[in-house]
Amino acid sequence: MTEPPTSRLTADLTGRVAIVTGAARGLGRAIAVTLARAGAKVACIDVKAEWLADTLQAIRAAGGTAEPLACDVTDGGRVGEAVEEVVQLWDGLHILVNNAGVTRDNSILRMKDDQWDAVLNINLKGTFLFTRAAARPMMKGRFGRIVNIASVSGLMGNPGQANYSASKAGVIGLTRTVARELAGRNVTVNAVAPGFIATDMTAALGEEILQAVLKEIPLGRLGEPQDVADAVLYLASEAASFITGHVLTVDGGLTV
């Protein structure tokens, strides 16, 4: 297991309870570890609890507190149960990071119904279900930080990703609407839109495509998972208490 890098931000999340979906690897793992290192108790969510072993080990090795929860983010009943389990375990819920996501790339003419449905269900419906379930305890406690992981694909589109781009554009629309609905209860809702980040998903593009991508990024490099995790930490912290409905791009200048 590679030790995740340490956040470059200082934030105190002591006493906060967080949920991170898709926490087994990549961005989700970096986000979960970063929030835990800042003092939050983190419920790590993925389809299978055993997939979360590395994330839990990294958190606990650093002295943090975390628990694994198995949950299919497209199952509304199970999502509700998972949120309730977290609230009962740690007496509240303060931070939700909707990170779980998949790709099923294909051109629009070749895209199958199941490719479209899988991506929209996990990326968009899953974000909706967890947001809806988490909103109630956050509103009751009159505090909440919801951070949704969108994508620059939802802002500018990307050939071969009609399903993914649509799902992430939907996440952005959902973010802005729910921000307006929950603001009166001191619950902020923001999105982080990563560009090309060095994860397994990006590596699958192949070297030729990656080199072409690098030419389009003004900073001339891929981002790291910690770049995204630091953005999430900021939006989850008190420093961002007057920011809601915002989409923070973390893309090396790709969308400039």
- Residue 234 known to be catalytic: no
Strand-pairing partners, residue 65, are 41
CA 111, 149, 54 angle in degrees (round to 5)? 100
Catalytic, out of 116, 164, 196, 234: 164
Q: Is 7 helix (H, G, I), strand (E, B) or coil?
A: coil
Share of the chain residues as helix, strand and coil, in percent rounded to the nearest 5: 50, 15, 35
The rounded distance, in Å, linking the Cα atoms of 12 and 17 is 12
Nearest to 248 by CA among 199, 181, 179, 182: 179
Please, are residues 183 and 172 in contact by the beta-carbon 8 Å criterion? no
Active site residues: 164
